[in-house]
Structure formats: structure tokens, C-alpha cells
Amino acid sequence: MEKQELKHFENNELRTFGRRHGKKLSARKVWLMENLLPNITPKTDKYDEKSIILEIGFGNGEHLRDLALNDQKSIIIGAEPFVNGVAALLSAITKESDNTVFDEYKNIRIHPDDVRLLLKNLQHIKFSQIWILHPDPWPKAKHEKRRLLNSDFLNLISQFLSDDGKIIIGTDHWGYYDWIIEQLKNTKLKIKSTSLDIIKTRYQLKNKANTDTPKYLILSN
């Protein structure tokens, strides 16, 4: 990938997520953020022989943990800028007795910031799967430009797919879904499927869009 492509994207990027902080963290979660998190952030030179899966905006990490449990041979990287979500995941994957990571979650890595900063540092990495579930739909017309899944971003992440890699998108906001379909016309990505059966995350159960069910897109180069 040409570095200038990423640099151009960064110079034109918008903040596509909402708040970074929520309620005050417990003492245990603060400890995990300060002491455990630095040890499980993605490293640029560790994954040459591994299949790597990325989840962008993992919320509290329910789906990320499910990925880790069901694919122990892969490295599962989650990118999430919301501090409380990162802390919630750290708490869920560790033992309360000594704050060590459960064996079944030792394949999880966490990037606690905008995924575009992660991609800048992992330019040689190829992902077998890139998951984006329930991104902020920014439903007001004046905020539409802040939607993450515009054609520029989709073109960017498509460059990080392995030869048979997939981008999996899910949203319960049907207007956003239709908007993504339009954005795809300015990419080379192809729709492979619109059917998917996965665990229900806390965000999905809230169903803020009041739709019958989420809609999915499985894309490939």
C-alpha cells in the first residue's frame, strides 16, 4: 500500500464516533486499563504466521469474545475508542482473583482508539475478516458526513483484506444500510451475501432504530 494513500485519508478524516468516556470506572477497571492493556495492544511484528481478524468498534466486546472463543488459532484484534467499552472487555476476559487473562481469551488484542491509527501502524497486515457491527448511524442529515462506512473508508479497509478475506457489516438502521449500498458503487467491493447468524450484542438488543432485525453485508474484493 502506498503511504500517501493513508496520509491523504488521515488528512481528510472526520471523527466518526461519539463520546470517548462514560461513567467513572471501578478501581479494578482502572488497574486493567493502566497495567494489562499495554501488554495486549497489537504488535506490528508478531502475526506473520497467524490468521488475523479485526473488529472495528466492538462496544462492550460480546461479539469479539465470541470470535476469540470460536477461533482459537487466530489473533482477534478489536479497535474501540470508547474507554468504558475497552474497560468492560478487559474485565470480562480476566480473572477477578488476580486480573490475569483467561486462557481462552489470550488470542485477543485491543487497540483503544480510532481504527485508522491502528491501520497506519499495521500497513503490512492482511485480515481474513473485518467486522463492523452497529456503527453509529448518525441519522440526522447534518451529521451524515460523519458516518464511518463511506466509500473512502471502505476502499481503505479493502486494501487490508487477505486474498479470500471478507468485510462483514451489520446495522439495525435500515436507512444507513441503504446508504452503504450506495457507497459501495464507488468501490470495487462485491456483495457475497446478506445473510448472517451471529450472537446478539447488547447494542443489538437495545434496537435503537426500532427495526425488525439487523441487516448484514458480507463483502469481498
> Distances in Å between the alpha carbon of 81 and those of 4, 14, 92, 153, 181?
24, 14, 17, 17, 26
| Other CB atoms within 10 Å distance of the CB of residue 173 | 23
Of the residues 98, 136, 163, 172, only one is catalytic, namely 136
**66 in catalytic set:** no
| Other CB atoms within 10 Å distance of the CB of residue 168 | 19
Question: What b/e sequence results for 55-82 when a residue is b if at least 16 CB atoms lie within 10 Å of its CB, and e otherwise?
Answer: bbbbbbbbbbbebbeeeeebbbbbbbbb
CA dihedral (67, 69, 73, 79) positive or negative: positive
The x, y and z cell numbers of residue 71, run together, are 477461533
Nearest to 162 by CA among 127, 122, 131: 127
Residues with active-site annotation: 136
